Chain A
Amino acid sequence: MKTDPTLKSPDDFYERLLNAHRGLTADQSAELNARLILLLANQVGDDQVLADCITAAAKPFTR
């Protein structure tokens, strides 16, 4: 799992992400996020990296 920055313009990505959610209900946002995770997972295409990302994302919720 990469932890150093790789995006040239983090602000652009973040803005795009927020814009995509603009005007959606909480349910629709959840659905968009789910679609996005699955699309991105296929781009990553590495089981170990994805497992590490899931662990890192779940860190605040795991004891």
Chain B
Amino acid sequence: MPEDPAVLPVAPVTKVAGVTTGGAYELPVYPFVAPAELRGKIGRHAVVVIGAGLAGLTAACDLALHGVPVVVIDEDNTVGVRGASSRGICYAQKSLEIFKRLGIFERIAARGISWSVGRTLAGNEEVFSFDLKSLPNFDASEQPPFINLQQFYIEWFLVDRIYDLGTVDLRWKSKLVGCEERRDAIALQIETPGGPYEMETQWVIDCSGSHSPLRAILNVPVQTEHVVDRWCISDVRFRTHPPAERWTWIHAPFNDDRAVWQHLMGDDVWRLDYQMAPDADPEQFSQPAIVADRLRRQFGPDIEYELVWIGPYAYRSQCLETFRVGRVFFAGDAAHVMSPFGARGGNSGIQDADNLVWKLALVLEGKAPERLLDSYDAERRPAAHQNIRITTRTARFLSPQAPVDRILRDAVVSLAREYPFARGFVNTGRLSAPTHYVDSPLNVGVGGGRSVQNIALTLPDGQRGDLVALMEYAAYRVLGLITQPIDRYFAQELELLEERYPVRFFRVQFDESEPSPFPTIIDADERLGAELGIDGAGTCLLRPDLHLAGLLADAGAPDIERALRKLLAQT
């Protein structure tokens, strides 16, 4: 699909900037406000986020909800990327669950397109189709598997939410030009329309994208793999409506037997993405007249449409050798870029932020040692490698390089028409799924590291809610979910643990029949138990990013304390 062209556009192969035509969007413009530093005040901050994109805004909004004051700087004064209509278009369930917590899910659901049917075509024929609704666990989460929406809308909603929260200092038209490590802080040099200034901060989250200036200043080693595959986006608004489905052509007759993606976004705009020949001239390929000709071949001679945006791009795979350098954390495209297949770029940047924020908040609050922050690299760098590996496999299927690659792919396609088994080999993108941190140093028991879906349940106050709401109720502490009996003595021990560690305990019951003096959640349909893998009596520790730290069977307070110390990197 390129569900998520994260590197758009890329020099040197595509020097053509995107062409915005008649149906372009009107984006908000935010004012530059001179910060106190420009009036001579020495700025000393807890956290500075660089880059107001998906990862940066997610981190800033989440930090605000955790009560951490944060400064965000961004070179631009609007959402989205200048000249690019939309980069990511597809938001996966884990991201939607995070957005639910941040308070923008309802707006995304209202504006975006939920889809579940995907069709894979080769030539003029359908090879096979799937419906996500028929997959098991479709409704385990309160959020749908995917919503399609232009990336700038997500960023727009995040900015609105951040302004509503009122505790984030958003600084537009502010460019990072230098940094200097001090004894107990890092100094950042910023250029603005009002002049240059310097500010100090304890921590930096660099979300400034694949051309991060900070990464260059700090000289962080990067592994890069270039790919010859190039594509051209044509975002189009139709008068007539194609079906709200994801269609992928492995090879399309109307694109010289190369791949094509057709996907719906918000505002009735379609993302059409065409694979280009290796020797194609991107400028020629994206001429409106050439695009028009291709559209008529695809949809018929009478098609009525409005071009919203055209832009050729190339992609590459890139990963930093470390995601933490002292006081600086790298997240999103600043840490990793990958080919766009399966929407893994933007969605993994959102998960980077989700992973880091609760840890940073606990450290700033003095509830966990700085060592906890090392687990960000230990968990998110393997996640990036996994995503790069998965997207590279798709790229090899869609853009076969050696003759044998093509022979095998043709064999897969011809078999897949007839035999269900061969459909598993057809790889038009493995859609973004959360990474399970199975090798995390923070894991404390059975199922450790596994991402848990946002299951519906009854909160201790009797209100219907879900795990996300319970996490808010528990003020983003670690959740200790207990299925074993709690007598008075055990209850006292648990209260003591709550005083000494950032944890909140809840008893999990399947019905309301046995009233409990302890805060209790009701899992009436036993879906929470199934999702957590609770089998019998025990305690389940769930991290604020809804990853399981582990299940402890028949745990006493000393066992729980030992597990908490490991989870908080205190041992």
- In the bound complex, do residue A34 and residue B411 qualify as a contact, i.e. CB atoms below 8 Å apart? yes
Report the minimum CB–CB distance from B409 to chain A (whole Å).
Answer: 9
The reply to whether the CB of A54 lies closer than 8 angstroms to some CB of chain B is no
> When chains A and B are docked, how far (Å) is the Cα of A33 from the Cα of B411?
9
Report the minimum CB–CB distance from A4 to chain B (whole Å).
Answer: 27
The reply to whether the CB of A55 lies closer than 8 angstroms to some CB of chain B is no
- In the bound complex, do residue B412 and residue A38 qualify as a contact, i.e. CB atoms below 8 Å apart? yes
Most A CB contacts (10 A, CB to CB) among B404, B411, B414 go to B411
- In the bound complex, do residue A35 and residue B421 qualify as a contact, i.e. CB atoms below 8 Å apart? no
Report the minimum CB–CB distance from A10 to chain B (whole Å).
Answer: 25
> When chains A and B are docked, how far (Å) is the Cα of A34 from the Cα of B410?
9
- In the bound complex, do residue B407 and residue A34 qualify as a contact, i.e. CB atoms below 8 Å apart? yes
Q: Mark B412-441, 1 if CB is under 8 A from A, else 0.
A: 101100010110010000000000000000
- In the bound complex, do residue A31 and residue B407 qualify as a contact, i.e. CB atoms below 8 Å apart? yes
The reply to whether the CB of A30 lies closer than 8 angstroms to some CB of chain B is yes
Report the minimum CB–CB distance from A18 to chain B (whole Å).
Answer: 19
The reply to whether the CB of B408 lies closer than 8 angstroms to some CB of chain A is yes
What B residues does A30 contact at CB under 8 A? Answer: 404, 407
The reply to whether the CB of A39 lies closer than 8 angstroms to some CB of chain B is yes
Q: Which residue of A lies closest to B424 (CB)?
A: A42
What B residues does A27 contact at CB under 8 A? Answer: 407
- In the bound complex, do residue A31 and residue B412 qualify as a contact, i.e. CB atoms below 8 Å apart? no
When the two chains form the complex, which single residue of B408, B419, B421 contacts A34, counting CB atoms closer than 8 Å? Answer: B408
Q: A35-B414, A35-B415 are in contact. Are A42 and B421 (CB under 8 A)?
A: yes
Interface residues of A in 9-60 (CB under 8 A from B): 27, 30-31, 34-35, 37-39, 42
- In the bound complex, do residue A38 and residue B410 qualify as a contact, i.e. CB atoms below 8 Å apart? no
What B residues does A31 contact at CB under 8 A? Answer: 407, 410-411, 414
What A residues does B422 contact at CB under 8 A? Answer: 38, 42
Report the minimum CB–CB distance from A57 to chain B (whole Å).
Answer: 13
Report the minimum CB–CB distance from B514 to chain A (whole Å).
Answer: 47
> When chains A and B are docked, how far (Å) is the Cα of A18 from the Cα of B42?
82
Looking at chain B's contact residues, is the secondary structure mostly helix, strand, loop, or mixed?
Answer: helix
How many pairs of A and B residues are in contact by the CB < 8 Å rule?
Answer: 25
What A residues does B415 contact at CB under 8 A? Answer: 35, 38-39
What B residues does A39 contact at CB under 8 A? Answer: 415, 419
What A residues does B414 contact at CB under 8 A? Answer: 31, 35
What A residues does B408 contact at CB under 8 A? Answer: 34, 38
Looking at chain A's contact residues, is the secondary structure mostly helix, strand, loop, or mixed?
Answer: helix
> When chains A and B are docked, how far (Å) is the Cα of A34 from the Cα of B412?
8
What A residues does B411 contact at CB under 8 A? Answer: 31, 34-35, 37-38
> When chains A and B are docked, how far (Å) is the Cα of A31 from the Cα of B407?
6
Q: Mark B382-404, 1 if CB is under 8 A from A, else 0.
A: 00000000000000000000001
Q: Which residue of B lies closest to A43 (CB)?
A: B421
> When chains A and B are docked, how far (Å) is the Cα of A37 from the Cα of B410?
13
> When chains A and B are docked, how far (Å) is the Cα of A27 from the Cα of B404?
10
What A residues does B404 contact at CB under 8 A? Answer: 30
What A residues does B421 contact at CB under 8 A? Answer: 42
Report the minimum CB–CB distance from B412 to chain A (whole Å).
Answer: 6
> When chains A and B are docked, how far (Å) is the Cα of A1 from the Cα of B425?
22
> When chains A and B are docked, how far (Å) is the Cα of A38 from the Cα of B410?
11
Q: Which residue of A lies closest to B404 (CB)?
A: A30
- In the bound complex, do residue B407 and residue A38 qualify as a contact, i.e. CB atoms below 8 Å apart? no
What A residues does B419 contact at CB under 8 A? Answer: 39
> When chains A and B are docked, how far (Å) is the Cα of A43 from the Cα of B414?
18
> When chains A and B are docked, how far (Å) is the Cα of A30 from the Cα of B410?
11
What B residues does A37 contact at CB under 8 A? Answer: 411
Report the minimum CB–CB distance from B105 to chain A (whole Å).
Answer: 38
Report the minimum CB–CB distance from B375 to chain A (whole Å).
Answer: 31
> When chains A and B are docked, how far (Å) is the Cα of A31 from the Cα of B412?
10
> When chains A and B are docked, how far (Å) is the Cα of A7 from the Cα of B406?
32
Report the minimum CB–CB distance from A36 to chain B (whole Å).
Answer: 9
> When chains A and B are docked, how far (Å) is the Cα of A31 from the Cα of B413?
11
What B residues does A38 contact at CB under 8 A? Answer: 408, 411-412, 415, 422, 425
> When chains A and B are docked, how far (Å) is the Cα of A42 from the Cα of B412?
12
Report the minimum CB–CB distance from A29 to chain B (whole Å).
Answer: 10
> When chains A and B are docked, how far (Å) is the Cα of A31 from the Cα of B411?
6
What B residues does A35 contact at CB under 8 A? Answer: 411, 414-415
> When chains A and B are docked, how far (Å) is the Cα of A15 from the Cα of B56?
64
Report the minimum CB–CB distance from B42 to chain A (whole Å).
Answer: 60
What A residues does B412 contact at CB under 8 A? Answer: 38
What A residues does B410 contact at CB under 8 A? Answer: 31, 34
What B residues does A42 contact at CB under 8 A? Answer: 421-422
Q: Which residue of A lies closest to B403 (CB)?
A: A30
Most B CB contacts (10 A, CB to CB) among A30, A34, A39 go to A34
> When chains A and B are docked, how far (Å) is the Cα of A34 from the Cα of B415?
10
> When chains A and B are docked, how far (Å) is the Cα of A31 from the Cα of B518?
67
Report the minimum CB–CB distance from B500 to chain A (whole Å).
Answer: 46
What B residues does A34 contact at CB under 8 A? Answer: 407-408, 410-411
> When chains A and B are docked, how far (Å) is the Cα of A56 from the Cα of B63?
54
> When chains A and B are docked, how far (Å) is the Cα of A34 from the Cα of B419?
15
Report the minimum CB–CB distance from B403 to chain A (whole Å).
Answer: 8
Give the 5 A-B residue pairs with the shortest CB-CB distance, closest first: A34-B411, A42-B421, A35-B411, A30-B407, A34-B408
Binding site for B on A (CB under 8 A): 27, 30-31, 34-35, 37-39, 42
User: Can you sample 25 A-B contacts with CB below 8 Å?
Assistant: A27-B407, A30-B404, A30-B407, A31-B407, A31-B410, A31-B411, A31-B414, A34-B407, A34-B408, A34-B410, A34-B411, A35-B411, A35-B414, A35-B415, A37-B411, A38-B408, A38-B411, A38-B412, A38-B415, A38-B422, A38-B425, A39-B415, A39-B419, A42-B421, A42-B422
- Given A30-B404, A38-B425, 6 further pairs, Cβ under 8 A: A31-B411, A34-B407, A34-B410, A34-B411, A37-B411, A38-B412
